[in-house]
Amino acid sequence: AQKVTQAQTEISVVEKEDVTLDCVYETRDTTYYLFWYKQPPSGELVFLIRRNSFDEQNEISGRYSWNFQKSTSSFNFTITASQVVDSAVYFCALSAPYSGAGSYQLTFGKGTKLSVIP
Amino acid sequence: DVKVTQSSRYLVKRTGEKVFLECVQDMDHENMFWYRQDPGLGLRLIYFSYDVKMKEKGDIPEGYSVSREKKERFSLILESASTNQTSMYLCASRPGTSGPYNEQFFGPGTRLTVL
């Protein structure tokens, strides 16, 4: 069975601080994909990044960066110089082969609510 | 631009009513999903469909059914709404050609209240 744990339920930071959102996953599959989604107050989940299990290279996109470490089964997300617009709920998710079906389930963590205070 | 739309943003129904939540995507995606989101529980998969007239149970299908008569439309049905089905419902779609690689695209959600 797959599992995604986001231990931080809520985080508050002051604008311009850096913040890291933790994600730990469990799966028995050797091929899998990890995702981060952002859910702003409007409600719609927005895709941020995808990473496959064979690519441990870290990624940076503007103020966002992701650190994938298979040794610790973690896929952490860092926002540098946070802004008020970063306030949202962030979900980490895992996708792995799902037996008996032609599709694949996304297993979500419970989310981390980030509040950036001006 | 990729688009998933849901018929209502907010819905209020009474216990015992039959409720239809509609989802439409314009990306010609094979796979469609229904989730519910509750505080402290994250997103949980109710049902998914990988083709027209095909459906698979997710993690919490009890009390729900689905219908997919056309590729672009996936409906979630609450046969007899109960108060414990008060929740945010999210629809998503994804191309079916590349397994787990592609991300899912989400609609804006329907916040359902059952009184």
Fill in the DSSP letter of residue A16.
T
Give the length of chain A.
Answer: 118
Sorted by sequence, the CB contacts under 8 Å of residue B25 that are 6+ apart come out as B3, B4, B5, B32, B72, B74, B91, B93, B105
Residue from A36, A45, A48, A105 whose CB has the most chain B CBs within 10 Å, to mutate: A45
pLDDT digits (tens, 9 = 90+) for B31-88: 899 999 998 888 999 999 988 988 989 889 999 999 999 999 999 999 999 999 999 9
Q: Could B40 and A32 be called an inter-chain contact, meaning their C-beta atoms sit closer than 8 Å?
A: no
Q: List chain A residues with CB under 8 Å of B104.
A: 47, 106
d(CA A110, CA A93): 9
Residue from B27, B37, B49 whose CB has the most chain A CBs within 10 Å, to mutate: B37
**What percentage of chain A has pLDDT greater than the value 90?**
67
Bridge partner list, A92: A36
| Pairing verdict, β B4-6 and B19-25 | antiparallel
The Cα of B32 is separated from the nearest Cα of chain A by a number of Å equal to: 9
